[in-house]
Structure 1
Amino acid sequence: MNDTVPATHTTPARTVLLRGGRVHSPADPFATAMVVEGDRVAWVGSEGAADSFADGVDDILHLDGALVTPAFTDAHVHATATGLALTGLDLGPAASLADALDRIRDHAHAHPGDTVLLGTGWDTTDWPEQRHPTRAELAAAADGRPLYLTRVDVHSALVTDALVDRVPGIGRLDGYAADAPLTGDAHHAAREAAHSSLTAAQRTGAQRAALRHAASLGIGSVHECGGPDISSEDDFTGLLRLAAEDHVPRVTGYWAEAVTSPDAARRIRELGAVGAAGDFFADGSLGSHTAHLHAPYADAPGTTGSARLDEDAVAAHVAACTEAGLQAGFHAIGDAALTAVTRGVHRAAERVGTARVRAARHRVEHAEMLDRDAIEAFAAYALTASVQPAFDAAWGGEEGMYSRRLGHERARALNPYAALLRAGVPLALGSDSPVTPLDPWGAVRAAAFHHAPEHRISARAAFTAHTRGGWRAAGRDDAGTLVPGAPADYAVWETGELVVQAPDTRVANWSTDPRSGTPGLPALTPGIPLPVCLRTVVGGRTVHVRPNE
């Protein structure tokens, strides 16, 4: 791509003409050029018409056939944890218990100055040993130092005794066991103790690494899901400050804390949050056996998980947030947790009015075990389903973790994206990074090729949910699409032929017929390489250029 635009800007360019490519825009399905004035899209149209702008612009970006799309929005991330996984100990690639211990040992030797060793990503599901390491094994691998390792779903953690010693009274907290993963309150206390070892510089470095990685993937904005159980106020406000000051993607912050009074709502706003939402836990996760179910787990018959909020608490939170003009939201995965949330929202609507609840655009994160009644409630109260298609890609299918936890019948019903869209439920896509990696095109593909064909949605619908849907989930209707007047948040891609996928369940129902009048997208059939991001622009500022472009 021949480029006369500097790699970065200290101020947004006055006027930029992009030409000679393909522009994904509902304003013109055949557009090959676009003009950006300052931080807004000014025009979208044909290459011939672009000639009239050539003499009046400050910069010209020659696309050489590249594709321009709206930048992606990842609607659920944890920036600091993502950065730590990118720059530190990530056990996701570990193929066995022995491999995991070797990786811990290597990390400990490479970081002799770390007072607490931090890691993430372990998952015993496919390990041949079928067990997690003991505390004695962890202590030996960590040279006796405090060690904190979150499971891949971040809802349980392995620790060494040296870390336990840093948390007085942890043995009396819910979720503590002497030689098992910590869950619940014990896990949150251990996480707080571990993360308190980070210096401000380490935390900022991790956040910057996460946001710059997001930019390299064509992500122009992320929704940070913070809260007292999973991060700290300093971590949250520091991230928002970094996003405001540095050339990185936008950050929309959610703080997961109960709103019990107007003062509580005011304090959440003062933190910079747009909502008391995100990971406000109604339950845990399926992988850690803490998602709250109506019927016991198939592989743990004695448990139905953990209920962290009941419908009374949900109703109080939603009503208070609605009256304060603040978004409410919850983390809810299991069917019992989703029942508590939807019944609580119904009770809040009885108290403050359905129209006000709908207008507030409250949201639910993950929303995996939805039955028909829950989907109807989501539609009735305009609840946004903030979902992660990579969960199905990683854990779905007959041999996946979902089936092991729930049995095939219940597992097949998870993540019913098509039913949500048919009911008119607003959909926003994300990754829950570092639970699954930042990978927007991968998420679009995972939604289009869900393990259960009846839950598949078109690539176009998934793309919209991962661009415009994220903005709408945060209360903005004027962004996430390349039309005149929209924010100039876009990405430039190296990709192959563009196609249109019909919104049905056939695996390879693609069309290249231009008579469809529908903007095309890259073919996302499994096995085909995903598009490569060449450039990401946020508000007219370039935040990423591919090296050696």
Structure 2
Amino acid sequence: MPADVLFTGGAVFTGTGEPLRGHAVVVTGDRITAVVPESEASALIGEGTRVVDLGGALLSPGFQDAHVHPLSAGVELLMCNLTEATDAADAVALVKAYADANPDEAWIQGGGWSMDHFPGGAPVRTLLDAVVPDRPVVLMSRDHHSTWANTAAITAAGVDATTPDPADGRIEREADGTPAGTFHEGASDLFGHVRPAIGADLAYAGLLRAQDELIALGITGWQDAWIGSGLGGVQDVASVYRRALLDGTLRAHVVGAQWWERAGGLEQVEEMAARRAEFAALDGGRFTLGTTKIMVDGVAENQTAAMLTPYRDVHGHDTTNSGLSFIDPERLREIVTQLDRAGFQVHFHALGDRAVREALDAVEAARLANGPTDGRHHLAHLQVVEETETARFADLDAVANIQALWATHEDQIDELTLPFLQDGAEARQYPFGDLVRNGARLAAGSDWPVSSADPMDAIHIAVTRVAPGSDDEPLGGAHQRLDLATAMAAYTSGTAWVNHRDHDTGHVREGYLANLVVLDPDPFSLPADEIHRSTVESTWIEGELVYSRTT
């Protein structure tokens, strides 16, 4: 049969290994129906065939993001968005401009501020009071692990010097104990009972805006790392996806990771199974809920990432703080064993080396109790991994879910993290090379809106460990670099495997869905320090052009 679409004139990255050259890819309907030598392509061109001349660009499987927060990202783009701020003064100016432009909003909400713009990573309430003194302001940090609030918001929440730190968070304080304006981790929840919830229409608009942004970056599927309540003020994330499914506006393939409430009990397993079944009956697989997200620890910048050794203070002396394990390790093993038994995949947030060990211990306990399963459990972030732990990933069939964009020297790691870790910690930052050498399977994601969702930016750093234009040494050493094919595979076939979509996505292969991206220039033709120049020319989902850079 003649092709509906024929891609020719460029290399083809099939999902693993080096690209094919001298081949054409045939699409009929929503599927790839053949990968043939260029010499055979003309025979497949019919009257209605759309011939896409790649002109030397690369054809690749569509990217899949293994850890992303589209709703909060999209909503923040539509609210007080601080992601473009260049410093503290710029962030404050953006808050003022938004407040002035929206005089009828009772609360100013949004986020995107960077910790490295403020001393100690903790902005103070008085900065906000100076520009918005009469309305509450609550703004999530870019990494969504801290909240910046003004005095009006703190007062509205009933928080004062006598309010204790919650077990899973910390309040930055002034000398007399008064909240200074930054609330880390679970302390952000102190505003939950008074801040307005995000309306259903705004949440829906945020999802669709985020989908447009991701598709333009060549992303055709993802794993949403927080399906629950309270994310950025959205009360029911699953209901937003349900609306998109029913409206036919969800174009990407999405795996939803149901949020594990750490204060709750094992009854959540049965509740999650019921929601999983509900969506399975609603849809044929475009959106599934077979994953559970567990936060094992926090982040290193605010010293809540769980470490095997103590953090140091500003003078280089050991403190009594080694970070937070949000769930007792013994309890974590029990939870993961029950989830694994119920057929759930577990998606761990594990950033510090102690958190990584506790998560792997939980996976090991589940395997001992249940035997091997097809859970495809994965650990996201992996900022610090103790050397002996890297081999356990392959032994336990656990996936290393990497956010490669972070694996380079930049202000947040150089000023807020490394000075407060023990000697030698820099060598253990994001040890991707060690993981691969020890046989770990990789998936890749962005954690957007924590950082850019652009896969090519992340792939550039995975390969070089250096930001474009920087003359820094590779973070952790050159031996932690990945080769380009491995980094590309992590963002395509690797995440497809994690998402249980490896049977029909993640590869350019006959019978697979025609979820594809065209990259120009071909990144395999570029020097390593120029990979970031490779840009999405077009994105295709199920054989349909859904984004074109030129139209």
Whether TM exceeds 0.5 here: the answer is yes
- Tell me whether 1:289 sits opposite 2:303 in the alignment: yes
- Tell me whether 1:482 sits opposite 2:508 in the alignment: yes
CA distance in 1, matches of 2:300, 2:412: 15
CA distance in 2, matches of 1:528, 1:323: 42
Give the structure 1 partner of residue 536 of structure 2. Answer: 533
Same amino acid, percent of matched pairs: 24
Task: Return the TM-score normalized by structure 2.
Answer: 0.84
| Long gaps (5+) in structure 1 | 1-12, 499-520
Give the structure 2 partner of residue 345 of structure 1. Answer: 363
- Tell me whether 1:213 sits opposite 2:213 in the alignment: yes
- Tell me whether 1:264 sits opposite 2:271 in the alignment: yes
Answer whether contact 1:212 1:248 (CA < 8 A) is retained.
no
CA distance in 1, matches of 2:193, 2:379: 25
CA distance in 2, matches of 1:133, 1:375: 36
Answer whether contact 1:277 1:363 (CA < 8 A) is retained.
no
Give the structure 2 partner of residue 508 of structure 1. Answer: none
After superposition, what is the alpha-carbon deviation per residue over 1:185-223, rounded to whole angstroms, capped at 9, x for unaligned?
A: 3213436754x4322221112111111011111111111
Going from structure 1 to structure 2, the CA distance change for 1:197 and 1:139 (only over 3 Å counts) comes to farther
Q: Which amino acid aligns with 2:33?
A: A
Give the structure 2 partner of residue 523 of structure 1. Answer: 526
Going from structure 1 to structure 2, the CA distance change for 1:288 and 1:257 (only over 3 Å counts) comes to same
In terms of mean alpha carbon deviation, does 317-326 or 368-377 score higher? 368-377
Answer whether contact 1:257 1:276 (CA < 8 A) is retained.
no
After superposition, what is the alpha-carbon deviation per residue over 1:343-376, rounded to whole angstroms, capped at 9, x for unaligned?
A: 22222222222x23xx321111212221133223
In terms of mean alpha carbon deviation, does 313-322 or 73-82 score higher? 313-322
Secondary structure at the aligned position of 1:488 is classed as coil
Superposed displacement of residue 379, structure 1: 1.7
Q: Which amino acid aligns with 1:55?
A: G
- Tell me whether 1:248 sits opposite 2:251 in the alignment: yes
After superposition, what is the alpha-carbon deviation per residue over 1:153-211, rounded to whole angstroms, capped at 9, x for unaligned?
A: 211111123333554679356035311421233213436754x4322221112111111
Superposed displacement of residue 525, structure 1: 2.6
In terms of mean alpha carbon deviation, does 47-56 or 461-470 score higher? 47-56
- Tell me whether 1:428 sits opposite 2:434 in the alignment: no
CA distance in 1, matches of 2:193, 2:491: 31
CA distance in 2, matches of 1:264, 1:21: 49
Q: In structure 2, which of residues 327, 345, 352 is the aligned counterpart of residue 334 of structure 1? A: 352
- Tell me whether 1:98 sits opposite 2:89 in the alignment: yes
Q: Which amino acid aligns with 1:269?
A: R
Going from structure 1 to structure 2, the CA distance change for 1:241 and 1:91 (only over 3 Å counts) comes to same
Answer whether contact 1:309 1:340 (CA < 8 A) is retained.
no
Q: Which amino acid aligns with 2:98?
A: H
Q: In structure 2, which of residues 146, 153, 157 is the aligned counterpart of residue 156 of structure 1? A: 146
Answer whether contact 2:58 2:519 (CA < 8 A) is retained.
yes
Going from structure 1 to structure 2, the CA distance change for 1:392 and 1:229 (only over 3 Å counts) comes to farther
After superposition, what is the alpha-carbon deviation per residue over 1:94-130, rounded to whole angstroms, capped at 9, x for unaligned?
A: 3433332222111211222333222323234355x55
Answer whether contact 1:254 1:275 (CA < 8 A) is retained.
yes
CA distance in 1, matches of 2:540, 2:132: 42
Superposed displacement of residue 396, structure 1: 8.2
After superposition, what is the alpha-carbon deviation per residue over 1:43-77, rounded to whole angstroms, capped at 9, x for unaligned?
A: 11233211101126543333333321111111111
Taking the TM superposition and a 5 Å limit, the aligned residue runs for 1:76-475 are 76-125=67-116, 127=118, 132-167=122-157, 171-172=163-164, 174=166, 175=169, 177=171, 178-190=179-191, 194=195, 196-228=196-228, 230-231=230-231, 232=234, 234-239=236-241, 241-242=243-244, 245-246=248-249, 248-257=251-260, 260-261=266-267, 263-270=270-277, 272=279, 273-278=288-293, 280-299=294-313, 301-353=319-371, 355-356=372-373, 359-393=374-408, 395=410, 399=414, 401-407=416-422, 409-450=424-465, 451=475, 452-475=477-500
CA distance in 1, matches of 2:487, 2:215: 20
Going from structure 1 to structure 2, the CA distance change for 1:437 and 1:469 (only over 3 Å counts) comes to same
Superposed displacement of residue 296, structure 1: 1.7
Answer whether contact 2:256 2:291 (CA < 8 A) is retained.
no
CA distance in 2, matches of 1:149, 1:82: 13
Give the structure 2 partner of residue 4 of structure 1. Answer: none
Going from structure 1 to structure 2, the CA distance change for 1:65 and 1:458 (only over 3 Å counts) comes to closer
Going from structure 1 to structure 2, the CA distance change for 1:293 and 1:185 (only over 3 Å counts) comes to same
CA distance in 1, matches of 2:20, 2:75: 41
CA distance in 2, matches of 1:281, 1:57: 51
Q: Which amino acid aligns with 1:534?
A: E
CA distance in 2, matches of 1:192, 1:541: 44
Answer whether contact 1:330 1:365 (CA < 8 A) is retained.
yes
Superposed displacement of residue 465, structure 1: 0.4
CA distance in 1, matches of 2:394, 2:94: 46
Answer whether contact 1:83 1:209 (CA < 8 A) is retained.
yes
Work out the number of aligned pairs and report it: 507
Q: In structure 2, which of residues 510, 521, 526 is the aligned counterpart of residue 495 of structure 1? A: 521
Q: Which amino acid aligns with 2:185?
A: G
Answer whether contact 1:73 1:470 (CA < 8 A) is retained.
yes
Answer whether contact 1:395 1:402 (CA < 8 A) is retained.
no
Going from structure 1 to structure 2, the CA distance change for 1:263 and 1:384 (only over 3 Å counts) comes to same
Answer whether contact 1:218 1:536 (CA < 8 A) is retained.
yes
After superposition, what is the alpha-carbon deviation per residue over 1:449-481, rounded to whole angstroms, capped at 9, x for unaligned?
A: 122212111011010001111110112322211
- Tell me whether 1:47 sits opposite 2:38 in the alignment: yes
CA distance in 1, matches of 2:415, 2:527: 22
CA distance in 2, matches of 1:429, 1:256: 20
Q: Which amino acid aligns with 1:424?
A: G
Q: Which amino acid aligns with 2:249?
A: D
Answer whether contact 2:62 2:219 (CA < 8 A) is retained.
yes
CA distance in 1, matches of 2:547, 2:108: 31
CA distance in 1, matches of 2:275, 2:378: 17
Task: Return the TM-score normalized by structure 1.
Answer: 0.85
Q: Which amino acid aligns with 1:68?
A: L
Answer whether contact 2:301 2:413 (CA < 8 A) is retained.
no
In terms of mean alpha carbon deviation, does 439-448 or 99-108 score higher? 99-108
In terms of mean alpha carbon deviation, does 281-290 or 20-29 score higher? 20-29
Q: Which amino acid aligns with 2:51?
A: I
CA distance in 1, matches of 2:366, 2:11: 47
Q: Which amino acid aligns with 1:465?
A: A
Give the structure 1 partner of residue 468 of structure 2. Answer: none
CA distance in 2, matches of 1:331, 1:155: 12
Superposed displacement of residue 230, structure 1: 4.9
Q: Which amino acid aligns with 2:306?
A: H
CA distance in 2, matches of 1:472, 1:114: 44
Answer whether contact 1:396 1:403 (CA < 8 A) is retained.
no
Answer whether contact 2:228 2:237 (CA < 8 A) is retained.
no
In terms of mean alpha carbon deviation, does 455-464 or 341-350 score higher? 341-350
Answer whether contact 2:57 2:519 (CA < 8 A) is retained.
yes
Q: Which amino acid aligns with 1:201?
A: D
Query: Once superposed, what is the RMSD of the aligned Cα atoms?
Result: 2.8
Answer whether contact 2:292 2:344 (CA < 8 A) is retained.
no
